[in-house]
A and B are shown apart, each in its own frame.
Chain A
Amino acid sequence: MNGTGLIRAHDRERLLRNFAQIPVLVLVFSFAPGAWAATHGQVTDLNGAPLAQAMVTLTRSARAAGATATTVFTGTAGEFSFPADTPPGTLQVRLLNYRQIGGAVPVGTGALTLLMRPEANQAGTAPASAYLKDMKDPAQREALVMTCVACHQLPAPEVRAYAKLLDDTPSTQSADGRELAWTAIVKQMNYVSNVEFGRAGNLVPSGENVYSGGAPGPTARILTQALRGPLLEVRGYGYGAPLIVTPRTTIREFEVAAPNAVREAVPFKGTDYLYAADVSANRLIRIDTRTGALKDYPIPGKDLWGPHTLVPGADGIWVSPFFPGALMRFDPRAEQWKLWHLNQPGGPPVGLHDLSFDSDHELATDHHGRVWFSDIVNNAVGWLDPDTGKSGEFKIPPVHGRTGGEQVYGLAMSPDRTHVWYCQLGIASFGSFNTETLKFETHVEFASPTAGPRRMSMSDDGVLYLALYGAGQLAAYDTKAGRMVGIYDLPDRASAPYATTWDPIRKVVWISTSNADVIYRFDPRTRAIGVLPLPRERGFLRMVHVDRSTGDLVTSYANIVEHVRGPRMALLIDPGDGAVKVVEAAR
């Protein structure tokens, strides 16, 4: 063995046999005959048994071009291979219940063998949601997810560090002491939220408003019960459904350097670019997926908007900003912005969240050319005629027994473009609005008022899919028949499913999560759920978009607040199922 921890191939077996006598083994490197264009190798355990479906991540060196990191998965023989265009860098492996021996290793030109050792403590490989798996009361779990995970994963590493602090501190050994301490931290979070929300207006919370996020007590009580002990370990977590990855699955991650806050990322057809919304500033960022090069496109003018939700359209990328009052469109070809002001004189601010899109996840107008949107501030559905600049909106009727805090959120358009469907996050309901008669029609409530429907999508045959953030479920509603097809438990009920995306190529639903570092795939034909694990902690995901030309998935790690650490990246994912080729062959 040389000083860098590399060994020759013939030494490998001897080393494995004698492993118990070796205190630290950094890495095993073996050179196979033959020339390989791409980095490849095998992942095994200490006995040499191959480990399948392990994530092998190549992080490119600082001077190289391309994706910040590229991840592939091992096959049944533990084998892995990176695409030929993968830049040089270092390798790391992640696999639940295992830990890589040694740290990141530089890639070489030959075949690599990467060793893993079993580790029952899953801290570091299991997602944040794993720490909530033993919560007995679904209502408490829903409350925590709805309250805390709206802004950050729970328990994020900082939360776990706080739990450790409470475990170490004599004055917080009692339940009362811990609850007091958790109350303080909930107040702190409320304060941070208040500051962040007010950054373009009422900047400084003061007096009673300083900790105005509602009574912290209920949340603190649940935290006291749910997060016991130092949280240094988590055991027994499983994905709960089969992984759908193959040796052809590739995840490319593109970091946008700080200061930034990537909120959403989308492809734009016919190009190799992704476009990311930087909600911390006033710009879109174009990412060249071939080189990793970035280019800024600031919104002209002095107003602070904070691009937030992105919906590609035939004529550009439509953008709803975080700060109320406008809808905008960016033309990637001409590299030009167009902005429509929406606030009416003397009227309330119009706070957009989602825009009307079709089953291809492209912006869809009604038969009169109107773009529709959800207005979260006024709990209304609104419209804009881009040709005339006229706009208006319709307040959603109150729901008996669930008034206050409705928060209209997701929006999707029916295939015949006569209805927009909306959901109300705060009161767990959804409904439809007829864009011809301008009347509200269907209304449906979920049993639990904290089920938390967030962003949704509609299939090309009119089935509406809703991600139930609080409940950890997927709901399917047949809008043509007017009936609930089913409500399906996701494998991890604390995963905080954020959005559904109908995949028009595969005819499946992708469900992005905020708290579980996975994307779920739901097949309506079999009702089977599969898991696409992500290679990074704190994969606080936003919506998934499907590139029609390649079948690739595009999404983002959307860690939002300055105080929330974690990756801010756009992701380009080839699920490795060859879906586009299959579809093309069938044509």
Chain B
Amino acid sequence: MKIPSWPSIGVVALLVVPAAGYAADAGLAQGLSPLAAHHHCDECHAIKEARIGPPFVAVAARYATERDAAVNRLALKIVNGGAGNWGTIPMIANERMSMDDARAIARWILALGHS
């Protein structure tokens, strides 16, 4: 079934619906890795455009010279949050994310610099 879109989010914020799985699909459709989509990184980041946070390709470019050392640095930032590198707005912590997942996402972000 094709469901027509709702009039506008501002108008119908009263009925927001949940759904494990569906929200992550949005990230997948935007080219995020499955893990990044699962953790909803797309809420603040996109691959090429600036949203609340910097685009992933910009992150990859900034840390390109650090190679593997950047993996841990980025993973720590993903888990603990941060502020100062990309402007005024701090990045929220993702304390429920494991360091293994954070490292995997960091590797995926850094690999965008090679693609």
**Bound Cα distance A198, B17 (Å):** 9
B29 and A204 form a contact (CB under 8 A) = yes
A177 within 8 A of B: yes
How far, in Å, is A105 (CB) from chain B's closest CB?
27
Inside 8 A of B12's CB, which chain A residues have their CB? Answer: 197, 376, 407
B9 and A165 form a contact (CB under 8 A) = no
B69 within 8 A of A: no
Using A150-B13, A171-B84, A212-B8 as known contacts, say yes or no to A205 and B18 having CB atoms under 8 A apart: no
B11 and A322 form a contact (CB under 8 A) = no
A180 and B88 form a contact (CB under 8 A) = yes
A165 and B3 form a contact (CB under 8 A) = no
A213 and B9 form a contact (CB under 8 A) = yes
How far, in Å, is B35 (CB) from chain A's closest CB?
16
B43 and A203 form a contact (CB under 8 A) = no
Say whether chain B's binding surface is mostly helix, strand, loop, or mixed: loop
**Bound Cα distance A172, B90 (Å):** 8
B40 within 8 A of A: yes
Using A201-B5, A306-B17 as known contacts, say yes or no to A562 and B11 having CB atoms under 8 A apart: no
A304 within 8 A of B: yes
A156 within 8 A of B: no
Interface residues on B, range: 35 or more
Using A165-B92, A324-B4, A425-B14 as known contacts, say yes or no to A190 and B84 having CB atoms under 8 A apart: no
Inside 8 A of B44's CB, which chain A residues have their CB? Answer: 184, 188
**Bound Cα distance A237, B16 (Å):** 30
A484 within 8 A of B: no
Inside 8 A of A338's CB, which chain B residues have their CB? Answer: none
**Bound Cα distance A340, B55 (Å):** 46
B2 and A562 form a contact (CB under 8 A) = no
**Bound Cα distance A335, B69 (Å):** 59
Inside 8 A of B10's CB, which chain A residues have their CB? Answer: 190, 212-214, 405
Inside 8 A of A280's CB, which chain B residues have their CB? Answer: 17-20, 22
Using A193-B13, A199-B23, A349-B3 as known contacts, say yes or no to A561 and B18 having CB atoms under 8 A apart: yes
Q: Which residue of A lies closest to B46 (CB)?
A: A210
Other-chain contact of B4, A201, A258, A279 (Cβ < 8 Å): A201
B26 within 8 A of A: yes
Using A203-B26, A304-B1 as known contacts, say yes or no to A562 and B89 having CB atoms under 8 A apart: no
Q: Which residue of B lies closest to A191 (CB)?
A: B43
Q: Which of B4, B10, B14, B83 has the most CB of A within 10 A?
A: B14
B52 within 8 A of A: yes
How far, in Å, is A328 (CB) from chain B's closest CB?
14
How far, in Å, is A561 (CB) from chain B's closest CB?
5
**Bound Cα distance A188, B93 (Å):** 15
How far, in Å, is B79 (CB) from chain A's closest CB?
14
How far, in Å, is A396 (CB) from chain B's closest CB?
15
B23 and A188 form a contact (CB under 8 A) = no
Inside 8 A of A409's CB, which chain B residues have their CB? Answer: 14
Apart from the given pairs A165-B83, A196-B23, 5 other A-B contacts in the complex at a CB distance below 8 Å: A161-B92, A171-B84, A201-B5, A279-B17, A302-B1
29 A-B residue pairings within 8 Å (CB atoms):
A151-B16, A161-B92, A165-B93, A172-B89, A181-B88, A184-B44, A185-B52, A188-B44, A193-B16, A194-B9, A195-B26, A196-B17, A197-B9, A199-B23, A200-B3, A201-B4, A212-B8, A213-B10, A259-B21, A279-B18, A303-B1, A304-B3, A323-B3, A324-B3, A325-B1, A425-B14, A561-B18, A562-B19, A563-B23
Interface positions of B (Cβ within 8 A of A): 1-23, 25-26, 29-30, 40, 42-44, 46, 51-52, 81, 83-84, 87-90, 92-93
